[in-house]
A and B are shown apart, each in its own frame.
Chain A
Amino acid sequence: MSEFLAMGGYGAFVWPSYGLTAVIMVVLLIASLRGLKTTEAMFERLKAETGPIHDHSNVDNNNKTTAENADAHEA
């Protein structure tokens, strides 16, 4: 085991390389996932707050909620 960790005398260079790679990739992943969760929660909250307000700009969309119109707007 200690022989494995020593990496033939290069342990001080091999392990920091892998450690740094792991830390940066995990941090970027967690930050991205949390960003998505926060934004989705904000969207759901706004959608609930805004409620079924009619968008008069489009007759066909009259029974859709504003949030659905936000979807439609993007499409």
Chain B
Amino acid sequence: MHRFANPTRFLKLAAIIQPWVAGITLGLFAIGLYMAFFTAPPDYQQGESVRIMYVHVPSAWMGMFCYAAMAVASAVALVWKHPLADVAGKATAPVGAAFTFLALATGSLWGKPMWGTWWVWDARLTSMLILLFLYIGYMALQGAFDDRARGARASAILALVGVVNLPIIKFSVDWWNTLHQPASVIKMDGPSIHPDMLWPLLIMAVAFKTYYVWILLVRIRQELTANKVRILRLKQVHGG
């Protein structure tokens, strides 16, 4: 594992893996979308509006997953000062922010016909909004210092402090009264959702995850190349 944590080796490996991840992502989206629209049945209570679930739930899962990934990367960067960890955290933030925004927006579009409102200030929705703000704060801190290392450190600390929000999001539907329905897939006694709906949901969720891996590879390659550009510029200034 440590072998691939070497940035130069990672760059070579990422360039090879990337087209495969791209192909898998597109294939999974084709299957997932087909199932979401053609094989999945309408809900007996929610009718066709339930199809919003196939983008809403994977977005929300990925919003939280990306945050956890960013926090782990931040911890590794702070403790071991590993160059790839900093870069991985930085590359994850915009993806996580995009997914969190999508979870909020599609949730709003689902809430309007089902709950009769675009938004309520309840625990689930509010904690997801806080997650979005944490991502924005992380990205803002990255660029807020002239010294890049200080920006990376400050944002990594913010990412770690914000981890407390993740269990709050997960259990908000159990701890507080809310319009949001409780978990029906990730729970102790197994999923309580029909396989005809569960399969398209899981395939879409995996598609979202491989999409994240795809973007992550591209953005890490970009960051590492940008680091090399900075080194070259420094050498030019100092006359080699």
Contacts and interface: CB of A to CB of B under 8 A. Distances in A.
Contacts of A46: 229, 232-233, 236
B51 interface: yes
A4 B42 CA distance: 12
Interface in A45-75: 46-47, 49-50, 53-55, 66-67, 69-71, 73-75
Interface in B188-240: 211, 214-215, 218-219, 221-222, 224-229, 231-233, 235-236, 240
B232 A66 contact: yes
A24 B101 contact: yes
Interface stretch (B69-77, B107-115, B137-145, B159-167): B107-115
Nearest to A38: B222
Contacts of A43: 225, 228-229, 232
A2 interface: no
A71 B49 contact: no
B222 A70 contact: no
Contacts of B49: 7-8, 10, 13-14
A17 B110 contact: yes
A36 B222 contact: yes
A1 interface: no
Given A50-B240, A70-B228, A75-B6, A32 B218 contact: yes
